[in-house]
Chain A
């Protein structure tokens, strides 16, 4: 009997060693170098601390809806501009979450959206400047606990909202109503707006082994926003963007009267809508 107990203890410690090893392994196996190769073709990454900032909560509260804000930091006199920003969630099943193209004349300096976070992960933001160089910054997010999952919450509702688009214009802090900014120089013409698109954004990765129930991938993969005919912002999205994609951003008005949005999903649906610039609406 004591012999058996001893053997069990040995096995138990053997098992715990194996468990510890398994836990250490993912950290040692940093996916980032591979992602730089796959997504950025191994181009050199420069320190982006003075170029771009990324803000996320330290812990993903709801795994399906984790807010992220990207902020450009180039000083006003800098001759370079941010051409695109790529958002990478290293440990997600599809790490490339979104690629934002910033309109050449829109001076977008802030973009907020919401993403799914599957695991404890680094999140990288990579800005490409007009000098052709890449600048990287990163943050770290703890996975959510509890029963939240990076999946659609109410599948039926998400379907019923499919293709609905909403536009909203916000007053900027410290400024009057947006309309006062028209034609009054660059500072006062900064606006903040938001586009919401109803879409279930099924990631399509899940299959139940017993029921063989399978939810095919179905998400918004392209979004373009214009003021009149001038591009403000475009997004190439993946399955890491939360359901009902929601983009809030700042830009500088060119005096346009119309704001226009076009979204496309992976089944080829095209959703288009336009609004008067100063009217929030559906």
Chain B
């Protein structure tokens, strides 16, 4: 009994000391435009070693408040982002905006859960988190290890974006837009009107092969519309901050190639497995993580295009 209590006490000491360490170490961010800070994620799969820090996440500071855009792939990454924010401003974090519901973007949410902070996302995001949340927690406990999943929970947005929503951070307007199914069925973009900086979420991949978890036809249609947004620079979901809208070109070529290859296979009656093995093979040298995602993209695209 006494033994149990002392172990418990030690566990508490252990837990608080790691927490404190995590809070001390601020996430590397760079100021890509006045008041806009971005951490560029590693182009890698989420692992225990990288704390799931594979997506680009960031924050925007207005006159009266701060908005966080995506929270990272673990609570630890979220806490380190919070430390980076607090090193720069004491203003309240009024909004946490999710560009969509994938683990590398939402797993850090718990670091920001407090009264005064509203979570914002696509109108489809609560449904997606409900359908996938438990599976993601199980799957990533396996992939990253139990410790990396400490404290991770799905926090559904309460402010839903259906069309366009403007958020005011104090003399700083953010325009949020929800998109039809493309990368996922819950993609949102954030445009800072003052600096014409666009957070595209995973509607844009640069260098990292695009990952299809929604609709390939929808995504190609959305790219055309996205390109019309009046931005000067873009923060993609993965890859370096880039010029707008030139940054869309590589991704468009990949998705068009994938769709065209799959369409040919469907027309000649090839089974879905052949698409996984061969579609978009010409794109291999042009992307990082090609072998991790291309077969999956082809499988997903095939199951959509065969209904054309």
**Chain A contact residues, CB within 8 Å of chain B:** 4, 7-8, 11-12, 14-15, 19, 22, 57, 61-62, 65, 67, 69, 112, 114, 118-120, 143-157, 161, 164, 166, 168, 170-171, 196, 198, 202, 206-208, 210-211, 213-215, 242, 244, 246, 248
Contact = CB atoms under 8 A, between A and B. Distances in A.
A74 to B, nearest CB: 23
Nearest to A149: B132
Contacts of A206: 130-135
A208 B156 contact: yes
A11 B17 CA distance: 13
B211 interface: yes
Given A147-B213, A149-B131, A8 B14 contact: yes
Interface centre among A148, A157, A166 (most CB of B within 10 A): A148
B299 A61 contact: yes
Contacts of A156: 124, 181, 185
A interface: dominant SS? loop
How extensive is the interface on chain B, given as a class? 35 or more
Interface in B46-101: 46
A114 B185 contact: no
Interface in B272-308: 272-273, 276, 292-293, 295-296, 299-300, 303, 306-307
Contacts of A119: 138-139, 142
A210 B132 contact: no
A4 B9 CA distance: 12
Contact of A211 (B13, B14, B130, B184): B130
B102 interface: yes
Contact of A196 (B10, B145, B306): B306
B13 A114 contact: no
A196 B266 CA distance: 13
Contacts of A146: 45-46, 211, 292-293, 296
Interface string B129-152: 111111110110011011100000
A147 B133 contact: no
B103 interface: yes
B296 A153 contact: no
B154 A210 contact: yes
B41 interface: no
A210 B135 contact: no
A-B CB proximity, top 10 nearest: A208-B130, A213-B130, A61-B296, A147-B102, A154-B181, A149-B132, A61-B295, A170-B269, A151-B131, A154-B185
B106 to A, nearest CB: 10
Given A151-B135, A154-B214, A154-B215, A144 B130 contact: no
Contacts of B138: 118-119
B104 A147 contact: yes
Nearest to B181: A154
Nearest to B185: A154
A210 B155 contact: yes
A241 B28 CA distance: 44
Contacts of A19: 145-147
Given A149-B132, A210-B155, 16 more contacts: A7-B10, A12-B14, A61-B295, A112-B271, A119-B138, A145-B45, A146-B211, A146-B296, A147-B103, A149-B139, A153-B214, A157-B215, A161-B307, A198-B307, A211-B129, A248-B271
B303 A244 contact: yes
A55 to B, nearest CB: 8
Contacts of B155: 210
A61 B307 contact: no
Given A118-B135, A157-B181, A244-B307, A61 B14 contact: no
A193 B11 CA distance: 61
Interface centre among A19, A62, A164 (most CB of B within 10 A): A62
13 contacts: A4-B13, A57-B276, A62-B299, A118-B138, A146-B296, A147-B136, A148-B296, A153-B181, A153-B300, A154-B215, A156-B124, A196-B307, A207-B134
B203 to A, nearest CB: 14
A128 B138 CA distance: 35
Interface centre among B130, B155, B214 (most CB of A within 10 A): B130
Nearest to A280: B269
